[in-house]
Structure 1
Amino acid sequence: MNPTLVSRLRRDVSFTGEHLDVAGRAVELRTLTPGQGAALKLLADGDHDDAELAVAVTALDGESGLLRWHMLLRGLNASGLVEHAVREGGRTGEVGEIRQIRQIIARLRLVGRGATLLAPAPAGPARLSRFAEARIVDGMPTLQAPGRHLAVELAPRAAGLIGELAAWSTGVPAPVLRLLATAGLLAPGGPQEDVETTERSHAQWHPGDLAFHARTRTPASASGYGGTHPLGDRFPPEPVSPAPAGTRTVALPVPDLERIAAADPSFTEVLERRRSIRAHDMDAPITLDQLGELLYRSLRRRGTMTGGDGQELADRPYPSGGAVHELEVYPLVTACEGVPAGLWHYATDRHELELVAEPDKATAALVSEARGAAMLEADPQVVLLVAARFGRVMWKYETVAYPLVLKHVGVLYQTLYLVATAMNLAVCGLGGGDTAAFATASGRDPLLEGTVGELVLGSRPRMEG
């Protein structure tokens, strides 16, 4: 079996005989020669190697036409209109019935925006980058490097190449290495100079972190980016607020904002006083009025509107991309005067608490986790669990949806910090949490609504006043 590089037009590109149709958009080609047209027809019909394409060109244009063909082909590659693959060929069957079997074992695919010009194969041993991601796309094992606009699709029979290249190897055919090198999937350097472990720029990144960062901050590496409404033709948008749970509720008093505005410290004073406080006054816990005021000033729904795409939007005191406001807050109460212990949901539209779960082992685990993360000597009076209704964002935004959620968590943290500081309450944001534990306690499907942030809240100790 001799692996050979072959090419074809990108799968969403067709050739009409005069121009290219790229996903419904016409790309004009200047004065095509008969040989160029014949070669383009071959590329549109399937995979062909350079020799097969050269035969088609020279048959009509002569050998002098090859230079012009190569210039055209280079332009197509520079525009990302060509896919490259590695084909294995062999013969099988009885004498007199011999037929040639040709199979594609690897294919270079454009998954974002950019060129498909092939890079050379490394001269020495090669290894997959430790940042390479493997996943199944359209039923095929597919490799992609963070931030790259190209991926390599492997036929199932060639998936063993991943294992072969887990360590430095010289046993992989050069055409396959060319595809991997073009997609940025090979480790730089070599066995004696493993850049990914010796240089800080590479060594400091965890593969998951770099993949997340590169995908969401490199638009060219994704097929869609921003407000593309990737689910708009399959699902309706989620309502701006979840339906009432129908459980026991606690009405929260509406604070007098004019009185508060007159008595609040200045914005500069609040900023300067803001800090994380990891202790609560257990003799005088936070009250219903204080919890209600904090939630009202930070989170309440001030109004709704309908976007041009039909999605119901909201107005709250903190900003949200596209006004989608997917965040919900679940106060987990252990000690709050006027609010029974348990896991509650703050209804932003009704300014009330609705019971999600009575105290049990699951809520106790969340309390214990928050206590440990905040390094408190006693259980926190309230844990504010911040959850995201992911569909609110993912219905509209592609690639940047989850980063938007995290940005929203950040601005909500700051809003809660500043309001709590102005109210002389103790607040401390936590750096991590357990979505699975929240799902157990709340009964929420973590793929539909899961925690993305946590803060502990309580009365400020007297010595912190």
Structure 2
Amino acid sequence: MTSTSTLPGQAPPAAAASGTYTLTSRLARGGTFEDGEITTHLGAVRLGAITPGARAALHAFGEGDRDETAINALVVAHDGETGLLRWQMLRSRLEAAGLLEHAVTGPDGAPLARLVPVGRGATTLKPAPRGPVRLSRHALLSPAEGTLALRAPGSPLAVELGAGAAALLPLLTTWTEEVPAPLVRLLATAGALAPGGPGSDPQAEERGSVQWDPVDLAFHARTRVPASAPGYGGTYRHADRFGPEPVAAPAADGPRVTLPVPDLEAIAARDLTLTEAIEQRTSTRAHDPGSPLTLAQLAELLYRTVRIRGTFTGSDGQELADRPLPSGGAVHELEVYPLVTHCEGLEPGLYRYAPDRHELELVAAPGPATATLVKEARGGTMMEGDPQVVLLVAARFGRVMWKYETVAYPLILKHVGVLYQTVYLVATAMGLAVCGLGGGDTTAFAAATGRDPLLEGTVGELVLGSRPAEPTAEPSAESAAEPAAAGL
């Protein structure tokens, strides 16, 4: 397949004299053809009986890029004109299965851009749209394989850009016709072009398109469209490089506080029913300074929500845990760091709860770094005074990412939601004040703890304290929307 295009008013890439651009194809990256079987990074496909011409064409595709004219000539040389139709039908099947990738070669013979499958989807080329085109505002660029890859959220395809194509990107930020038609075809096939045209009314854009931030949409689509990712679920893609992390973090060398173990039978006798706790649950943004939360109450809440009740080894060799709350794959990556400002029986400071030993480990004494975390929690809930305790919820990311691909981070966020509800219900049953936050600052957490934020970082926060004797009016809906991390 050969196509010609010239960039009006510009020199072609690589300062070539000609304006001819060629569309070529080859087996998907890393693909091989041998003994009637095509093998790519997505697996193997057996083709069965094929003609000598088709076999020669597939060997040629396995060696590198070929244009359609050369491939057709190769097929005809082996099978005659009658074999050409059978080859084209086979080629369509290969594209539908995502076994071929396509490239645009510039006038100098160097690849300008390449359409590659990065998930599981067809690479059948779409026609170039008529008239001006521009990039979708949701399309994102990222480094890949020594080049830049342009992707649309949810698409199983990416367009890898050479230097010449990358130089054309500024043109594509507005409606333009100054882009080679073969490159436009690659972009259209990858879903990276905006709908409509220069005369379309921006106000007429559908709500579903307008309301999504590009990064949010990319995250949502990648984790909820399995075909858009190379691997999905428990793939253990890094297991050959790293071993699994232990279910409980190693004990620290600093001071520890042994916590009292609550009597669960006595608690069960006096507790609210589940229905009562659910119906009474509310976010309380005030604490009773005259009767603060006690160490025994904090110990009971942690014991009832996040302690490790037992451990076991999974079939994959990973150490797993049983806790009062569920966790995907029983990995239980969440850690709780109580940031204490005013708790009877416990000195102020930042602690880590050791769920396997039911202890608190002092991580940091009060100081500027912990004060920043307290200030953020206070602002997020619009409390008049400092919260008595902030439960900083952190994730040891490797616990989940050792096993899961693509769904690892959204799985962590699901676990945070489960933890929030568990803490809310237990705190309600205990008569405590609790309020979950909608956002936080993992950078401030890293500064206070010294933890590597790529290994362990905060993914949630709740404020906890004694419930005031008299109900406190909740902020209005209008005022509650003001802080960036407003309480839930």
Q: One-letter code of the match for 1:117?
A: T
Instruction: Provide the residue aligned with 2:133 in structure 1.
Output: 126
Q: One-letter code of the match for 2:406?
A: T
1:257 to 250, 261, 264: 264
1:73 to 82, 86, 91: 91
1:107 to 85, 101, 114: 114
Asked whether the equivalents of residues 127 and 186 of structure 1 are also in contact (C-alpha less than 8 Å), the reply is yes
Instruction: Provide the residue aligned with 2:414 in structure 1.
Output: 407
Deviation per CA, 1:109-134: give whole Å up to 9, x if none: 00111111001111011111111110
1 CA distance for matches of 2:275 and 2:405? Answer: 38
Q: One-letter code of the match for 2:154?
A: G
2 CA distance for matches of 1:329 and 1:321? Answer: 18
2 CA distance for matches of 1:150 and 1:461? Answer: 56
Corresponding position: 1:389 with 2:396: yes
2 CA distance for matches of 1:335 and 1:318? Answer: 27
Give the C-alpha shift of residue 246 in structure 1.
1.1
Asked whether the equivalents of residues 141 and 156 of structure 1 are also in contact (C-alpha less than 8 Å), the reply is no
1 CA distance for matches of 2:35 and 2:336? Answer: 59
Q: One-letter code of the match for 1:45?
A: E
1 CA distance for matches of 2:271 and 2:216? Answer: 41
Judged with a 3 Å threshold, the aligned counterparts in structure 2 of structure 1 residues 197 and 224 are, in CA distance, closer, same or farther, namely farther
Pairwise CA RMSD of aligned residues? 1.5
Instruction: Provide the residue aligned with 2:28 in structure 1.
Output: 10
Structure 2: stretches of 5+ with no match in the other structure: 1-18, 473-488
Instruction: Provide the residue aligned with 2:46 in structure 1.
Output: 28
Corresponding position: 1:425 with 2:443: no
Judged with a 3 Å threshold, the aligned counterparts in structure 2 of structure 1 residues 192 and 9 are, in CA distance, closer, same or farther, namely same
Corresponding position: 1:289 with 2:296: yes
2 CA distance for matches of 1:25 and 1:397? Answer: 19
1 CA distance for matches of 2:285 and 2:20? Answer: 67
Instruction: Provide the residue aligned with 1:99 in structure 2.
Output: none
Asked whether the equivalents of residues 36 and 48 of structure 2 are also in contact (C-alpha less than 8 Å), the reply is no
Judged with a 3 Å threshold, the aligned counterparts in structure 2 of structure 1 residues 265 and 234 are, in CA distance, closer, same or farther, namely same
SS of alignment partner, residue 165 of structure 1: helix
Corresponding position: 1:38 with 2:56: yes
Deviation per CA, 1:73-98: give whole Å up to 9, x if none: 111111111111101234xxxxxxxx
2 CA distance for matches of 1:141 and 1:19? Answer: 31
Deviation per CA, 1:221-266: give whole Å up to 9, x if none: 0000001111110001111111111111111100000000001011
SS of alignment partner, residue 110 of structure 2: strand
Q: One-letter code of the match for 2:85?
A: L
1:228 to 222, 228, 235: 235
Instruction: Provide the residue aligned with 1:98 in structure 2.
Output: none
Corresponding position: 1:330 with 2:332: no
Asked whether the equivalents of residues 187 and 194 of structure 1 are also in contact (C-alpha less than 8 Å), the reply is no
Asked whether the equivalents of residues 154 and 221 of structure 2 are also in contact (C-alpha less than 8 Å), the reply is yes
Q: How does 1:17-416 map to 2 (within 5 A)?
A: 18-23=36-41, 26-90=44-108, 102-193=109-200, 198-416=205-423
Give the C-alpha shift of residue 30 in structure 1.
4.0
TM-score by length of 1: 0.95
Of residues 63-72 and 104-113 in structure 1, the stretch that sits farther from structure 2 once superposed is 63-72
Give the C-alpha shift of residue 31 in structure 1.
3.2
Q: One-letter code of the match for 1:123?
A: R
Deviation per CA, 1:425-452: give whole Å up to 9, x if none: 0000000000001111111111110000
Q: One-letter code of the match for 2:52?
A: P
Instruction: Provide the residue aligned with 1:97 in structure 2.
Output: none
Deviation per CA, 1:396-438: give whole Å up to 9, x if none: 1000000000000000000000000000000000000000011
Asked whether the equivalents of residues 125 and 191 of structure 1 are also in contact (C-alpha less than 8 Å), the reply is yes
SS of alignment partner, residue 305 of structure 1: strand
The alignment of Structure 1 onto Structure 2 pairs a total of residues equal to: 454
2 CA distance for matches of 1:187 and 1:313? Answer: 46
2 CA distance for matches of 1:12 and 1:338? Answer: 63
SS of alignment partner, residue 461 of structure 1: coil
Structure 1: stretches of 5+ with no match in the other structure: 91-101
2 CA distance for matches of 1:27 and 1:131? Answer: 33
Asked whether the equivalents of residues 301 and 423 of structure 2 are also in contact (C-alpha less than 8 Å), the reply is yes
Judged with a 3 Å threshold, the aligned counterparts in structure 2 of structure 1 residues 335 and 192 are, in CA distance, closer, same or farther, namely same
Q: One-letter code of the match for 1:271?
A: I
Asked whether the equivalents of residues 144 and 183 of structure 1 are also in contact (C-alpha less than 8 Å), the reply is yes
Give the C-alpha shift of residue 24 in structure 1.
9.4
1 CA distance for matches of 2:349 and 2:44? Answer: 61
Asked whether the equivalents of residues 4 and 175 of structure 1 are also in contact (C-alpha less than 8 Å), the reply is yes
Of residues 396-405 and 64-73 in structure 1, the stretch that sits farther from structure 2 once superposed is 64-73
Give the C-alpha shift of residue 463 in structure 1.
1.2
Of residues 22-31 and 135-144 in structure 1, the stretch that sits farther from structure 2 once superposed is 22-31
SS of alignment partner, residue 376 of structure 1: coil
SS of alignment partner, residue 114 of structure 2: strand
Deviation per CA, 1:285-318: give whole Å up to 9, x if none: 0000000000000111100001111111111100
Instruction: Provide the residue aligned with 1:93 in structure 2.
Output: none
Asked whether the equivalents of residues 265 and 422 of structure 1 are also in contact (C-alpha less than 8 Å), the reply is yes
Give the C-alpha shift of residue 25 in structure 1.
5.6
Instruction: Provide the residue aligned with 1:95 in structure 2.
Output: none
Of residues 71-80 and 286-295 in structure 1, the stretch that sits farther from structure 2 once superposed is 71-80
SS of alignment partner, residue 107 of structure 1: strand
Q: One-letter code of the match for 1:55?
A: A
2 CA distance for matches of 1:29 and 1:408? Answer: 44
What percentage of aligned pairs have identical amino acids? 64
Q: One-letter code of the match for 2:310?
A: G
Give the C-alpha shift of residue 33 in structure 1.
2.0
TM-score by length of 2: 0.91
2 CA distance for matches of 1:76 and 1:194? Answer: 39
2 CA distance for matches of 1:207 and 1:172? Answer: 24
1 CA distance for matches of 2:256 and 2:416? Answer: 26
Asked whether the equivalents of residues 29 and 40 of structure 2 are also in contact (C-alpha less than 8 Å), the reply is no
